[in-house]
Amino acid sequence: MNGKECTKPNYANMLTYCDKGYTMHKGKCIKYETTRETAPAEYYCPKGYTDAGDNCARTSSAHAHAYCPKGYTLQGKDTCESYKTAEPEKYCSKGTETKEGCGKHDTVPKTSSCPKGYTEGKKGCERCYTSKKHTHCDYTKMVHSCPKGYTMNGKECTKPNYANMLTYCDKGYTMHKGKCIKYETTRETAPAEYYCPKGYTDAGDNCARTSSAHAHAYCPKGYTLQGKDTCESYKTAEPEKYCSKGTETKEGCGKHDTVPKTSSCPKGYTEGKKGCERCYTSKKHTHCDYTKMVHSCPKGYTMNGKECT
C-alpha cells in the first residue's frame, strides 16, 4: 500500500530503461569506461644477426680467389711468376770446332804415292827414258791421299768423332744438334690480383656478403602489439551505477505496474457520507460510530500514495 494505492515493482521491463551506452547489471544501469595507453615497441634481432639501424644484419666472409695476368702462373698465395728463356749461346769447346759441328778428330798419317808410271826418286816422282846417247827423266809431285772418310788437314788426315762430342761441352752447357748450348732463364714476378666469389663484395683483406632480416618487435609486460610498432594496454575503470529517471526503487532499477488501491470498511461498518459508519437506533434517537476506510493492494503490490505499484 502506498498512500491510497497499491504498487508492485515490474522488473520484467527494467532493461528498457537504461540510457544509451549503459548496460543492465544486477538491477543497475552501468557504463564501462576504457582508457588506452600506448608505448613504442622494443626490438630484438634473430639469433646470429646484429642491430644495423633500421634492420638486422649478418655478415658472411669468404676468401678471395687469386689470379695472374696472362703469361704468369701463381706461386704460393700471392705471387705470379713468368719464366723467359734467352736464345742460347753456341760455341764449341776449345779444339773441337769442325765444319760439321763440335767434336774430336781421329787423326792418321796421310798416304803419299807417285802417279801411275812414275817411281819415287831423290827428286820426287820420276819417269826416265834411255836412248843411245843419254837418259831423259820427267819429274812430278807425289800424290797425297787419306783413307775413306778422312779429310786431309795439313800433314794429317782427320775424321770427326761425334761419339765423343758430349764430353766436350763445358759445365752448364748442353749438346743440341752438334752444338754446346746454355739456356739462360730470367724470372719475373708480379703481385696476384684477386676477385670475390659470386654474391660477395670486396671487404679489404677479404670478401663479404651481408644478409638482412627484420627485427622482432616485443612489448613490455601488460601491453599487446598493435600493428608494427605500437604497444597498447587497456585499463577498465570502475563502472558508474545509476538508474534512469523515474526507475529508482529499493530493489534496483525498474518501472512499476500501477493499479488503483482497494478501499473498504471494516467488518460491521458500512460506507456512508462521512466514511465508514456503524449506527445503533433506540426509542428516542439513532447513535452512529465512525471510522476510516481500510485501503489495501493486490498481492505483490505496494501502496504508493493513491496507487498500488
15: pLDDT strictly greater than 50:
no
Tell me the one-letter amino acid at 263.
Answer: S
Alpha carbon distances (Å) from 166 to 104, 177, 197, 222: 10, 11, 54, 100
Q: Pick the most confident of 93-107, 180-194, 274-288.
A: 274-288
Average pLDDT for 28-33: 69
**Chain segment 82-107, per-residue pLDDT in tens:** 876 656 666 676 767 766 666 677 88
**Chain segment 218-251, per-residue pLDDT in tens:** 888 878 888 877 877 766 555 666 676 667 766 6
13: pLDDT strictly greater than 50:
no
* DSSP-based three-state secondary structure for 283: coil
166: pLDDT strictly greater than 50:
no
Q: How many residues does the chain have?
A: 309
Please name the residues in contact with 133: beta carbons below 8 A apart, sequence gap of 6 or more.
none
| Gap between the Cα atoms of 244 and 248, Å rounded | 7
Tell me the one-letter amino acid at 157.
Answer: C
Query: What's the pLDDT at 254?
Result: 67
Listed range (109-118, 185-194, 296-305) with the worst mean pLDDT = 185-194
Query: What's the pLDDT at 27?
Result: 66
| Gap between the Cα atoms of 176 and 65, Å rounded | 42
- Between β-strands 216-218 and 2-3, what pairing exists: parallel, antiparallel or unpaired? unpaired
117: pLDDT strictly greater than 70:
yes
**Chain segment 152-165, per-residue pLDDT in tens:** 888 898 887 664 44
Please identify which residue in the block is written with the cell numbers 831423259: 136
Eight-state DSSP code of residue 206: S
Question: Is the C-alpha dihedral spanning 65, 66, 67, 69 positive or negative?
Answer: positive
Share of the chain above pLDDT 90, in %: 0
Contact (Cβ atoms closer than 8 angstroms) between residue 45 and residue 250: no
| Gap between the Cα atoms of 194 and 95, Å rounded | 56
More confident residue, 62 or 162: 62
- Please state, rounded to an integer, the average pLDDT across all residues of the chain: 76
Enumerate helices (H) and strands (E) in the chain, giving the number of each. 0, 37
What are the two backbone dihedrals, phi and then psi, of residue 13, each rounded to the nearest 5 degrees? -105, 15
Tell me the one-letter amino acid at 38.
Answer: T
Average pLDDT for 250-255: 67
Torsion, Cα 143 147 148 153, to 10 degrees, reads -70
Grade residue 151 by pLDDT with cuts at 50, 70 and 90. confident
56: pLDDT strictly greater than 80:
yes
37: pLDDT strictly greater than 70:
yes
190: pLDDT strictly greater than 50:
yes
Tell me the one-letter amino acid at 56.
Answer: C
More confident residue, 251 or 216: 216
Query: What's the pLDDT at 268?
Result: 85
